[in-house]
Amino acid sequence: MYLVASREYDRTRLEIDWAKVPFAEVKFHRSFADTHGALLVDIDYSICEFVADHREVVDTDVLVAIQTLAETYRTQTSGIIYEKPLDYPLQRALYEHLKLSIADFRKEETERAGMTTIRESDVRDALIFLTQLCAIHANGRPKGRAYIDLVRGQFPKEEFQKAGSNIVLL
């Protein structure tokens, strides 16, 4: 309860310096989330899946992974294929998990529609959007999880809970 109240207080005092937000030159129309909602939710779900298996993940890990993947897609849409390897294993694992999730989403979308409806630029824009969202909502604390909790709030609480152990201690 106190954590939620402190985050709300932080949000009321927050003034966003757009020059410090990643990809500051990219602006989105209010309808972007409506148009690309399925892709955004899929990426958010993938983040929650990863965090459920790796409790040590914090907002900065998510920000670095999403931002690096957005940069990869940005160079890819310009015709250059380049991936910047991440040094921290947890961030690299999240990066790979998100990459596979996006590939699966595109494959399922192609099977459902009979053709690909999601362009590389759509994925790039969705990742940039989420990078900016993460940068704005992360509270800047080293072990902060404000953004992760925000994303997790979209889904039922039980969705990402691990099954308890069946061991009975006497």
- What pLDDT digit, counting tens, does each position of 7-42 carry? 455 555 556 666 678 888 888 888 888 899 999 999
The region, left, alpha or beta by phi > 0 then psi within -120 to 50, assigned to residue 140 is: left
Map tokens 């997790």 to a residue: 152
Contacts 24+ apart (CB under 8 A), 115-118: 118/39
Separation of alpha carbons 98 and 93, rounded Å:
9
Rounded to the nearest 10 degrees, how much is the dihedral formed by the CA atoms of 18, 24, 25, 29? Answer: -80
Q: Taking Cα atoms as reference points, which of 154, 128, 139 lies closest to residue 60?
A: 139
Alpha carbon of residue 105 to chain centroid: 15
Tokens 């966003």 -> residue? 16
Q: How far apart are CA 116 and CA 59, in angstroms?
A: 32
pLDDT at residue 169, rounded to an integer: 55
Q: pTM for the full model? A: 0.81
- Asked if 36 contacts 125 with a C-beta cutoff of 8 angstroms, the reply is yes
- Higher-confidence residue: 54 or 141? 54
Per-residue pLDDT tens digits for 78-131: 778 777 888 899 999 999 999 999 999 999 988 887 877 788 899 999 999 999
